[in-house]
Each structure stands twice: as structure tokens, then as C-alpha cells.
Homo-oligomer: A and B are copies of this chain.
Amino acid sequence: MARSRLTPERESELYETVIDLLGEVGYDGLTMDAIAARTRSSKATLYRQWGSKPELVAQSLRHHKPVRIAEIDTGSLRGDFHEIIGSSDDCRMAKDSAMMRGLAHAVGENPELHEALRELLIEPEVTGLDQILRRAVERGEVAADNPALGLVPHMMIGAVVARSFIEDRPVDQAFLTAYVDAVVLPALGAP
């Protein structure tokens, strides 16, 4: 009996609300009460369907999954990076940046949450970047022993997080494109 299951549309709306709230109040400040109020759901429904806050947050992250980097293949490393950046708009980037900051402390304190974040967001990004970089090495654009090859996720995630700290505004397409051209490609020795 599906009496109180949410429709897929309502479920999708609820996941996006969780991502928004994470950015606004952080993981510690995120309460089931606030989610229920913002989505006009009952707390009983939330607990019945997701069990707990970490599970609901993990499912929201899974739903809000990033661009599939692994599917991008433009024929050049520079083209691939620009395609990755172009496939997410500034509004989405601002939201993701706020969400990352909202999770930054909590992941250190909550191993289950960190595991979910790693599995759902970080590993796919790292794996996707690895594939793009492997093809660049095969094409001869990057030397196979370039020591920056293992540090591309640090450069990229770092650029997203650091901009809020340093310049008080979220990352956007123009900044990330300039960063890739000025930092990431030169560090890799790529054209």
C-alpha cells in the first residue's frame, strides 16, 4: 500500500531542498523539522522513507549527482576541461560550493557521511578525471610520469572551496576556465 510514499516529483523536490538547506545552514544545522517544514512533508514520512538524517543527506547527494565527467571526450585535454566547466551553470556551481562548505566540518566528525560523500561525489569525479587524463597521456599531451597527474582533483576541488574563502564569492564558469588555463594545464605541461 503506497498510502504515504512520495511521488517521484515530490521526492526530487525534497532532495533539492535538502541540498539547498545544507548550503544555507550546514550539516549540523540541518534538522528533519526544517526539511519537513520547507517541503510541507510530515516528519513521520521522512523517517519512514529515509530512516535518518545521514541517509536522507546521502540520498540527496546521490540524486544531485554531478556531471558525468567520464562521458566527456572532446579530443583534447583543454577541450575536455572546458566542456566539464561548461556543463554546469554558475547558479549550480554556487549551490554546489555552498553545499561543500556546509559539509566541510561535518565530514570530519561523521565517518558515515564522509563515506557517502566520497562514494557519491568524490570517487566519480576522481575516476572521471582519471579517464580524461589517461586519454591525454595516450594522445601525448601529458607525460605519463608528470607528478601533477595525481593532484588534479586537489587543484579543482581546491579552486571551488578556496574562492569563497579568499574572494567572498562562489566559483563560476569564468573563474574556473581561467584557473584551468593558468594553473591546471600548465602544471600538466599540456597545450
Interface residues of A (CB under 8 A from B): 23-29, 98, 100-102, 104-109, 114, 117-118, 122, 126, 146-148, 151, 153-155, 157-159, 161-166, 168, 178-179, 181-184, 186-187, 189
Main SS at interface, chain A: helix
Chain B residues, CB < 8 A from A114 = 168
B164, A161: Cβ atoms closer than 8 Å: no
Number of copies: 2
B155, A183: Cβ atoms closer than 8 Å: yes
Docked CA distance A165–B104 (Å): 8
Chain B residues, CB < 8 A from A27 = 105
Docked CA distance A159–B105 (Å): 16
Docked CA distance A27–B24 (Å): 14
Which of B106, B117, B148, B166 is the one whose CB lies under 8 Å from A153?
B166
**Nearest CB of chain B from residue A173's CB, rounded to whole Å:** 16
B126, A166: Cβ atoms closer than 8 Å: yes
Chain B residues, CB < 8 A from A183 = 148, 151, 154-155, 183, 187
